[in-house]
Structure 1
Amino acid sequence: MDTPVLFIATVLIWGTTWIAIAAQVGDVQVAVSVFYRFALAGVLMLAGLALIGRLERPRIWRFVVVQALCLFCLNFIGLYAATATVPSGLVSVVFSLASIFNALNARLFFKDPLERRTLVAGALGFCGLALLFWQDLAVSLDPATLRGIGFAVLGTAIFSLGNMASRKNSALGITPVTANAWGMGIAALVLLCLLVATGQPFAVPRAGTYWVALVYLAVIGSILGFTAYLLLVARIGSARAGYATVLFPIVALALSTVFEGYQWSLTAVLGVVLAAIGNIVMFKPRRPEQPPYQACSAITDRKAGP
């Protein structure tokens, strides 16, 4: 699958999962819903790969476990804990820093160069979402709000570490499909242990919309969404792939405009423009470097001109 198709698919898939998440809000605890989501996704992936004879056992497990904890477990706990105390728009603004976290972690763990374009694009995307969710930023800095912001930063940082683990798995020859299948299963087991340890009840909702939403989140949001995203990480690097976190809240608001009557303000429009400019900066093709003799020739030609 072409890289642009993977990027667009990631943005569109993760931009629509909020509809399914909203349909699950009610009698079931958030952590229990997350457990149901990744338990179903893990079972489907492992069983599906086994049926077609493509289920592989990773040679090295430690980075698969790290990916499981950071992408399918602890990051969700942090982000959902943040959403419980601060507006979801503010959480989206913080989460948009994933591309910056990815760039810094790639420098730390893989010695990747810290490109100026990545930092500029990330800053533009962050400012764009800040304008887009301007109303959500008007919060009082009380202890609960600061705690929520801290959880959002922690969840984003953990998500970025999961990106690094995925890169390491790819370098070891473990495909994103294999790492995701085992990772989601491992994450579900960890979540199950946490839920049992904290005594949270496992509610069984009766509403059909809940189960439809669960299937959508497991199959589309998790299996397809995370696989597309981690294939992007393997192809274009974690920093550039992380820019998807800037764009999917925009897709969510576009859908909210159609289905919920969201009213766009001037600051929101300006925010989308900034995010789009950041996207251009991030993905604009680099100019091919000229060989030294061509560069000298070009300088000589300019000097000889009128």
Structure 2
Amino acid sequence: MALFAACVVLAGGNAVAVRFSNRELDPLWGAALRFGAASLVLLAVMALQRRELPRGRALAGAVLFGVLNFGVTFALAYYALVRIHAGLGQTLLSLVPLATLLLAVAQRLERFRLLAGIGTLCATAGVAVVSRAPFQGSVPTLSLLAMLGSVVSFAESIVLVRKLPKVHPVTMNAIGMTAAAVLLFAGSAAAGDTWKLPERAATWWALAYVVVAGSVLTFVLYLMVIQRWGASRAAYLFVCVPVVTILLSARLDDEPLTASLLLGTPLILLGVYLGALRRGDAEQRGRPPGR
């Protein structure tokens, strides 16, 4: 429980820190700095632990995982968080477990469950309530779509891991973040970003946070929780994180606690619980549903 609580708190600060970073640094440049630095830390850990690089399909899978999980996901998220508040962004990210389940069903890795359908409808209703702002002009539609694209990319990377050869978590994240950093640096150069180091103290603190706490520590803690609890229980992280983010954003970034956010968030979280986290009696007893 202590590991889980620490992971929730650390992950909850990510979106707020990214908002501060985006105020001085171009989004792709900020993301590239984050994962470039985090990959160096993890590669150093690999060296200290004397872990060998995987080969063949395992290496290619780790690279592809990194491109999706860190590259595409965070490029879209950083772009979205320029215009939308961290609370809304992190709330939309709470759809990741549900999106993962639906993608797994579509790719025939899991069977469809009625609760997944009910959860999808409930979560979609929550998103509709929360995202009424774009149609009123306060949140750009492209930013909202970018965040939803980030959700899909994150979910697909999780599904992909189930198909790949097993790689140690430190090695998987080190290779993945390195591949993502290369992609993000290239994207930043293509976009014409200004490559400069932060000048404001707040940006340095935000960057330090997302590298050490938000990337390295969060992923290490999350993997430790998965090893002890299993994936389904550990996935409650995505349900709890938005609450922390909204509170931090309201305190540090003056995010308004609007009625639409307060009404839509419970619907999204209920949908994720019903569709992705709650299991039937047969599953809880260790038998596949319907047998």
TM-score bin, normalised by smaller chain: 0.7 to 0.9
Residue 243 (structure 1) shift? 5.6
Query: In the TM superposition, what are the counterparts of 1:255-270 in structure 2 within 5 Å?
Result: 255-259=248-252, 264=257, 269-270=262-263
Deviates more, 1:84-93 or 1:174-183: 84-93
- The RMSD of aligned alpha carbons is 3.5
Give a deviation string over 1:81-129, Cα, whole Å, max 9, x none: 3344556555445433322321122123352122333443454455456
Contact 2:69/2:154 (8 A) holds in 1: yes
What's 1:179 paired with? 172
Matched residues in 2 for 1:231 and 1:120: separation?
Answer: 31
Matched residues in 2 for 1:84 and 1:259: separation?
Answer: 16
> What one-letter code is carried by the residue in structure 2 that aligns with 1:62?
A
Give the secondary structure class of the aligned counterpart of 1:254.
Answer: helix
What's 1:12 paired with? 9
Matched residues in 2 for 1:90 and 1:209: separation?
Answer: 22
Matched residues in 1 for 2:84 and 2:17: separation?
Answer: 20
What's 1:203 paired with? 196
Determine which of 171, 191, 197 is the counterpart of 2:184: 191
TM (norm. structure 2) is: 0.77
Determine which of 117, 122, 133 is the counterpart of 1:138: 133
Distance change in 2, residues 1:125/1:225 (3 Å): farther
Determine which of 42, 49, 56 is the counterpart of 1:52: 49
What's 1:41 paired with? 38
> What one-letter code is carried by the residue in structure 2 that aligns with 1:11?
V
> What one-letter code is carried by the residue in structure 2 that aligns with 1:23?
F
Contact 2:102/2:116 (8 A) holds in 1: no
> What one-letter code is carried by the residue in structure 1 that aligns with 2:215?
S
> What one-letter code is carried by the residue in structure 1 that aligns with 2:42?
M
Distance change in 2, residues 1:161/1:183 (3 Å): same
Query: In the TM superposition, what are the counterparts of 1:280-291 in structure 2 within 5 Å?
Result: 281=274, 283-284=277-278, 286-287=280-281
> What one-letter code is carried by the residue in structure 1 that aligns with 2:167?
I
> What one-letter code is carried by the residue in structure 1 that aligns with 2:32?
F
Contact 2:95/2:268 (8 A) holds in 1: no
Distance change in 2, residues 1:174/1:225 (3 Å): same
What's 2:69 paired with? 71
Determine which of 203, 208, 221 is the counterpart of 1:215: 208
Distance change in 2, residues 1:220/1:89 (3 Å): closer
Tell me, which stretches of 5 or more residues in structure 1 are unaligned? 291-306
Deviates more, 1:153-162 or 1:178-187: 153-162
Residue 229 (structure 1) shift? 4.2
What's 1:294 paired with? none
Distance change in 2, residues 1:97/1:62 (3 Å): same
Distance change in 2, residues 1:277/1:161 (3 Å): closer
Residue 179 (structure 1) shift? 0.6
Deviates more, 1:254-263 or 1:67-76: 254-263
Distance change in 2, residues 1:56/1:117 (3 Å): farther
Matched residues in 2 for 1:165 and 1:28: separation?
Answer: 31
Residue 52 (structure 1) shift? 2.9
What's 1:252 paired with? 245
> What one-letter code is carried by the residue in structure 2 that aligns with 1:14?
A
Matched residues in 2 for 1:11 and 1:62: separation?
Answer: 30
Query: In the TM superposition, what are the counterparts of 1:233-252 in structure 2 within 5 Å?
Result: 236-237=230-231, 244-252=237-245
> What one-letter code is carried by the residue in structure 2 that aligns with 1:56?
E
Give the percent of matched residue pairs that are identical in Structure 1 and Structure 2. Answer: 25
Number of corresponding residues: 279
Determine which of 125, 146, 150 is the counterpart of 2:145: 150
Distance change in 2, residues 1:210/1:191 (3 Å): same
Matched residues in 2 for 1:90 and 1:268: separation?
Answer: 7
Residue 46 (structure 1) shift? 0.5
Contact 1:247/1:275 (8 A) holds in 2: no
Tell me, which stretches of 5 or more residues in structure 2 are unaligned? 286-291
TM (norm. structure 1) is: 0.74
Distance change in 2, residues 1:204/1:197 (3 Å): same
Give a deviation string over 1:249-281, Cα, whole Å, max 9, x none: 221122345556766566655545545655664
Report the structure number with the largest CA radius of gyration: 1
Determine which of 112, 115, 122 is the counterpart of 2:113: 115
Residue 175 (structure 1) shift? 2.3
Matched residues in 2 for 1:198 and 1:258: separation?
Answer: 33
